[in-house]
Structure 1
């Protein structure tokens, strides 16, 4: 039986800010838009979309963690905030897998080593979600 290994950047308890562009890049969406994208992502990945951090206070942000450096391959639409190597000194809060991590939590469980959201699939869903409605 293989044991699952948690990435070094996921603490055993609490939560910690991590500089983006090193261990991961992140795409941030606000409130219901983040939940809608996550719903579609979950449907397309048989319920395993990859690591997604949810902030349940303030803007109710959803952070989709993609491979480090991959955010620069896409022109993310307005409404999606990119945290990656092109931006300087941007941090994302990473919660522990269990325990008191308020206001952060893993939306679909903490990641295993090397597990990320598929950046190309996420880009397609974010672009569709944030596209202006035809009038």
Structure 2
């Protein structure tokens, strides 16, 4: 890992390659596929001065974009069609792909890398940005 990751103690980011993280432990995720997800990530970045929180994108398949959000922050609100919540709960287990900060991680990469161990995407802001679509 690079010096930046050492400074902020990102123990949930793998040193190399890709790992799956169980939703509900360090974070959960909201997944939006394709160009809609990429545009949403860039809209959030514009709204937050370039630091929307950690956002992972996939280069193949559905070209999913994963917004890493705090545990428990996606419930109690209706999400639009095309949005998948990756959460944990009774009879529900989800896994979120997380790439290393450097090296070969294809088909995953960081659209917006993590900037701090407790810095995640703000779920309410994400929800509001989706409503602006």
CA separation in 1, counterparts of 2:12 and 2:115?
A: 10
Residue 55 of structure 1 contacts residue 105 of structure 1 at CA under 8 Å; is this kept in 2? yes
Q: Distance in 1 between matches of 2:48 and 2:22?
A: 27
Cα displacement string for residues 72-117 of structure 1 (whole angstroms, at most 9, x for unaligned residues): 1322111110011347121111001100011111111234210100
How many angstroms apart in 2 are the aligned matches of 1:111 and 1:22? 19
Match of 2:99 in 1: 95
Q: Deviations over 1:8-59 (max 9, x none)?
A: 2111111101111111110000111101111210110011111000011100
TM-score with structure 2 setting the length:
0.89
Contact 2:19 2:98 in 1 (8 A): yes
- Which structure 2 segments of 5+ residues have no match? none
- Structure 1 residue runs without a partner (length 5+): 130-135
Question: Cα RMSD over matched residues?
Answer: 1.7
Compute the TM-score of the two structures, normalised by the length of structure 1: 0.87
Equivalent in the alignment of 1:69: 72
Equivalent in the alignment of 1:47: 50
